[in-house]
């Protein structure tokens, strides 16, 4: 999602029961974690360890560092959700199928959108980050460096950044709010082919242009990580599927902006969607497919912790976060 100027709008230990599926394991572990608002209260380090007693399974370790970090394991891979902060947007940006402001949103006042990034580590995917947050774009984002420290992730370990698109709250985090390069050992920036032009238009990011690696729908990004076209929101808007062999994840960028209303009303769109009709069709397909397959979804603007599941509810859908 993008706006012309942001600041004018601002901002346990558990035991795994034998017989639990590995897909349920990730959910159960995540549900045991501490969760909270994205607004960045002081971090309180917390840790939890769970032993996977499934036949033939290896130990599973899950660590929750603060209300801004959620981590989980699936097979040999580890997945982190990392808060970069939040932004507040005008309520009239949520539109119905006729492109009219949604009354329910207007009644609630300004919309607070989480800004989430995701990290992956494991065989063939060490040092992968999906989206980089907003950096110095707005005063309520740019917290990724602190959040990574809470998660014990060294920014120097990030070798690949996979962008869903190039709006400010996804790409400006390449630089810290005070202008430093956040990922000094970055080798590759995976970017949707159709988004390269908009990246080049951001002059302050010129030093990163040699790292760009354009991708199209279906391209392999890393071990078990593939690009998937999710059109409608922005040029080349792309998600990334991640299959651990035990769980499937879809990191879907800006398919959803207001989860409290869009799961129950998938035709509600966002005022900054480039093509609202296409964005609606994409959202409906993502919801249907994820609900049918039991895929974990991870979104830049899903409420904290940014990861959960889609469930079918009559003709609409619901969202069950990994931590309540």
- For 303-324, give the DSSP string: STT-EEEEEEETTEEEEEES--
Q: Distances from the Cα of 277 to the Cαs of 40, 213, 290, 313, in angstroms?
A: 35, 29, 20, 22
| Other beta carbons within 10 Å of 166 | 25
Query: Does the global pTM surpass 0.85?
Result: no
Helix, strand, coil percent content, the chain, rounded in steps of 5: 25, 30, 50
pLDDT tens per residue, range 173-190: 999 999 999 999 999 999
Q: Token pair for residue 212? A: 């760009």
| For residue 46, pLDDT beyond 80 | no
CB atoms closer than 10 angstroms to residue 52? 17
Cα–Cα distance, 301 to 83 (Å, whole number)? 10
Fold of 22-321: Metallo-beta-lactamase; Chain A (3.60.15)
Between the alpha carbon of residue 93 and those of residues 65, 99, 269, 273, the distances in Å are 34, 9, 8, 10
Tokens 């890393």 locate to 222
Higher pLDDT, 123 or 37: 123
Show me where the domains of the chain are located. 22-321
Q: Contact 295/250 with Cβ under 8 angstroms?
A: yes
Task: Report yes or no: 161 and 132 within 8 Å, Cβ to Cβ.
Answer: yes
> Does pLDDT of 63 surpass 80?
no
């Amino acid at each position: 999602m993008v706006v012309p100027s942001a600041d004018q709008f601002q901002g346990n230990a558990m035991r795994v029961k034998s017989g639990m599926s590995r897909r349920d394991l990730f959910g159960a572990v995540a549900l045991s974690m501490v969760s909270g608002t994205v607004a960045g209260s002081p971090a309180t380090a917390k840790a939890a360890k769970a032993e996977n007693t499934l036949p033939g399974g290896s130990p599973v370790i899950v660590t929750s560092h603060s209300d801004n970090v959620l981590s989980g394991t699936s097979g040999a891979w580890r997945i982190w959700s990392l808060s970069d902060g939040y932004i507040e947007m005008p309520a009239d940006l949520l539109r119905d199928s006729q492109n009219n402001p949604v009354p329910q949103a207007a009644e609630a006042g300004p919309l607070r959108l989480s800004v989430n990034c995701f990290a992956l580590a494991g065989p063939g995917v060490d040092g992968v980050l999906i989206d980089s947050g907003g950096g110095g774009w707005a005063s309520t984002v740019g917290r990724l460096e602190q959040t990574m420290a809470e998660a014990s992730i060294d920014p120097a370990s990030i070798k690949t950044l996979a962008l869903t698109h190039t709006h400010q709250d996804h790409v400006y985090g390449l630089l810290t709010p005070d202008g430093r390069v956040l990922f000094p050992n970055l080798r590759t920036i995976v970017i949707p082919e159709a988004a390269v032009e908009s990246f080049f238009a951001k002059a302050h990011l010129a030093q990163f242009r040699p790292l760009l690696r354009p991708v199209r729908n279906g391209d392999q990004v890393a071990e078990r990580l593939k690009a998937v076209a999710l059109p409608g929101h922005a040029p080349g808007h792309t998600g990334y599927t991640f299959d651990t062999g035990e769980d499937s994840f879809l990191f879907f960028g800006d398919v959803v902006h207001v989860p409290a209303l869009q799961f129950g009303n998938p035709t509600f769109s966002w005022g900054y969607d480039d093509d609202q009709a296409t964005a609606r069709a994409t959202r409906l397909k993502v919801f249907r497919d994820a609900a049918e397959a039991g895929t974990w979804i991870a979104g830049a603007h899903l409420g904290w912790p940014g990861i959960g599941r889609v469930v079918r509810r009559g003709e609409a859908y619901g969202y069950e976060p990994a931590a309540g």
